[in-house]
């Protein structure tokens, strides 16, 4: 560092009050050291000023830019900081983008606040482009209008903010677009829900209409079947009467053909009525414990003659088991199995048997008939489906038998199985729960010795509101040797009986004016004081009818009445009486 000149030493000595030579000599070393420190400090600040990362400048509010560091020159695109020493008039035009208006505003704030921190603005670069900066301005104390400023380039931050803002805008746009998509999807979903509700309402209306139509159909079918069964019953009784009379061969053939035609019509109407009741869930199973021979015995008696007439051998194997089932419904199923076996077996044998399978007893019907192709095993349970039996004359019914069997099995909750070997035969089976205990056998009433035919000479009362049925039943029973009294109602019965109790009553279930035959039977028993045996004959297959007959203790015969079955029931009741 250069030593102070003599003039500087004298000025300094005068400033300190050291006027004489001795004083100068004694204080010179301290002053020289102090000056050296000041020079070192000045050089340090100069180095920081020139090498600072941020821009630094000094300006006068009266004269303009006084000094600027290289960092500020580089920010603004100048090679030399001296190029930034703008006069005040050019400072606003060449440096501040906001011009004179912005410079006046900054000057006013400094005059008032003495400083301005964190001021963001835009400066004009040499090439005319703009630069975003952050400035801290200080009004230097003791020097009027002298401002020192510190400048930081915030272009990257601004760009980052712009990118962030752009991302935010894009995100908001995506959110808005997605929201609109969701709203549109929600509107579409609401529209679909509304359409589905409308479709559901339409389906419910269609279902209700179909159920109403189905109920109407079932009621109509039941009514029509009942109305058709009435004259059919009368015709069957008349034909049965003719079949038992000696007739010329030609007339006998005609009567037999008429009998077969009526029998086919009867089977068809019975199947239609049964399928109708099953479809409307009008059948409620009455499950109880039965011995297996109670189920098999009547079926064997019924079908042995059918098998013999077809040239077939019917075999039965009855094991010592009890089953828990509805006897009437199970009989209907096995009767259909045996009937089909007789119908579709040209020669050979039919077997009715049972074998145990765990907690169930499998009831089986085997035949040596034509068999069923594998692709038709499921179709045989469809309504109005029949196997090919060759000639149309050999067909019977309309193919409802197995459809009825399937519905009954579902009601009982039993499993049906079919196995078949085309050309060799088939096997139909159903699994029935085994009973816990075997009930005692039902004691059959033994016929009286020498009784023979118990019908001739017996006095019977026939009650029916159809005159044609009274006439037909009277002719058939009269041909069997019975004394027949007929009436259409209770008053007519009392008048026709003339105070003498009948030995047996055959009563229709539904009489005129809502009266049922059970009520008339009870009245006549009380009137004569005798437990007169009774048989109820009806086309009504409802559970209500069955419950009424159970209370009365009378057997039921469905119309059209089969003469053979009628004769057997009458003989049994008269023998037991």
Same-domain status, 326 and 470: no
Same-domain status, 353 and 476: no
**Where is 321: in which H helix or E strand?**
none
| Strands 360-367, 322-325: pairing kind | unpaired
Domain count of the fold of the chain: 3
Same-domain status, 143 and 21: yes
The number of beta carbons lying within 10 Å of the beta carbon of residue 145 is 14
Instruction: Name the residue range of residue 400's domain.
Output: 283-433
Q: What are the 10-residue block averages of pLDDT along the chain, 577 residues in total?
A: 49 47 60 75 72 85 86 88 82 80 87 89 89 90 85 88 90 91 92 91 87 68 63 74 78 75 68 65 76 85 82 88 86 87 89 90 91 77 56 48 81 88 90 77 42 82 88 88 92 90 90 87 91 85 66 78 82 82
DSSP 373-414: -GGGTTGGGSTT-----SSGGG--S-S-HHHHHHHHHHHHT-
Same-domain status, 70 and 19: yes
CATH value at residue 154: 3.30.450.20
pLDDT at 217 (0 to 100): 64
Residue 259 lies in a domain: no
Same-domain status, 365 and 475: no
For the CA atoms of 219, 221, 226, 228, the dihedral, rounded to the nearest 10 degrees, stands at 150
Side-chain half-sphere CA neighbours of 165 within 13 A: 6
Same-domain status, 422 and 561: no
Same-domain status, 487 and 413: no
Work out whether the CA dihedral 278, 283, 288, 290 comes out positive or negative: negative
Same-domain status, 10 and 55: yes
Residue 278 lies in a domain: no
Residue 444 lies in a domain: no
63, 87 Cβ separation under 8 angstroms: yes
DSSP SS3 for 163: helix
Q: Is the pTM of this model over 0.85?
A: no
Residue 233 lies in a domain: no
Residue 200 lies in a domain: no
Same-domain status, 425 and 463: no
HEC letters along 208-234 = HHHHHHHHHHHHHHHHHHHHHHHHHHH
Q: In whole angstroms, what is the distance from residue 510 CA to residue 516 CA? A: 5
Residue 255 lies in a domain: no
Same-domain status, 425 and 556: no
Residue 40 lies in a domain: yes
**27-53 as b/e, with b when 16 or more CB fall inside 10 Å?**
eeeebeeebeeeeeeeeeeeeebeeee
What are the CB-based long-range contacts (under 8 Å, 24+) for 154-163? 154/120, 155/131, 157/132, 158/132
The number of beta carbons lying within 10 Å of the beta carbon of residue 303 is 22
Residue 360 lies in a domain: yes
């Amino acid at each position: 560092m250069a030593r102070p000149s003599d003039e500087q030493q004298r000025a300094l000595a005068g400033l300190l009050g050291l006027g004489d030579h001795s004083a100068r000599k004694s204080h010179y070393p301290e002053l020289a050291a102090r000056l050296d420190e000041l020079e070192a400090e000045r050089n340090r600040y100069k180095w920081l000023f020139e090498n600072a990362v941020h821009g630094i400048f000094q300006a006068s509010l009266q004269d303009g830019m006084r000094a600027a560091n290289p960092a500020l020159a580089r920010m603004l695109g100048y090679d030399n900081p001296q190029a930034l020493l703008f006069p005040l008039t050019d400072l606003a035009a060449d440096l501040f983008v906001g011009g004179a208006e912005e410079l006046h505003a900054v000057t006013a704030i400094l005059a008032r606040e003495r400083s301005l921190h964190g001021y963001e603005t835009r400066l004009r670069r040499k090439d005319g482009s703009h630069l975003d900066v952050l400035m801290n301005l200080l009004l230097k104390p003791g020097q009027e209008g002298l401002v020192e400023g510190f400048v930081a380039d915030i272009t990257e931050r601004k760009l980052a903010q712009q990118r962030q803002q752009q991302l935010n805008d894009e995100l908001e746009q995506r959110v808005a677009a997605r929201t609109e998509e969701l709203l549109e999807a929600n509107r579409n979903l609401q529209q679909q829900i509304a359409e589905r509700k409308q479709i559901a309402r339409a389906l419910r209306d269609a279902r209700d209409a179909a159920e109403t139509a189905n109920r109407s159909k079932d009621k109509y079918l039941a009514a029509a079947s009942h109305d058709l069964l009435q004259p059919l019953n009368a015709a069957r009784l008349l034909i049965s009467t003719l079949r038992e009379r000696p007739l010329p061969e030609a007339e006998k053939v005609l009567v037999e053909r008429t009998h077969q035609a009526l029998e086919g019509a009867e089977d068809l109407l019975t199947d239609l009525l049964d399928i109708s009741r099953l479809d409307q869930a009008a059948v409620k199973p009455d499950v109880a414990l039965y011995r297996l021979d109670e189920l098999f015995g009547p079926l064997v008696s019924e079908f042995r003659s059918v098998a013999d007439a077809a040239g077939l051998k019917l075999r039965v194997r009855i094991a010592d088991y009890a089953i828990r089932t509805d006897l009437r419904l199970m009989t209907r199923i096995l009767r259909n199995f045996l009937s089909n076996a007789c119908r579709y077996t040209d020669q050979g044998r039919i077997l009715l048997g049972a074998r145990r399978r765990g907690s169930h007893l499998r009831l089986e019907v085997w035949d040596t008939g034509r068999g069923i192709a594998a692709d038709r095993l499921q179709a045989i349970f469809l309504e109005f489906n029949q196997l090919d039996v060759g000639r149309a004359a050999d067909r019977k019914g309309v193919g409802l038998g197995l459809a009825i069997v399937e519905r009954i099995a579902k009601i009982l909750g039993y499993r049906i199985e079919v196995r078949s070997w085309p050309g060799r035969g088939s096997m139909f089976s159903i699994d029935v729960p085994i009973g816990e205990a075997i009930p005692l056998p039902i004691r059959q009433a033994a016929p009286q010795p020498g009784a023979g035919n118990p019908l001739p000479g017996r006095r019977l009362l026939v009650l029916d509101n159809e005159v044609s049925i009274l006439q037909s039943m009277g002719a058939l029973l009269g041909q069997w040797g019975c004394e027949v009294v007929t009436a259409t109602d209770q008053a007519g019965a009392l008048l026709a009986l003339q105070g003498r109790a009948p030995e047996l009553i055959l009563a229709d279930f539904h009489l005129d004016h809502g009266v049922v035959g059970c009520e008339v039977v009870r009245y006549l028993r009380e009137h004569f004081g005798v437990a007169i045996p009774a048989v109820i004959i009806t086309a009504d297959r409802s559970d209500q009818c069955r419950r009424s007959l159970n209370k009365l203790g009378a057997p039921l015969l469905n119309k059209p009445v089969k003469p053979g079955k009628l004769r057997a029931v009458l003989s049994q009741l008269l023998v037991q009486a």
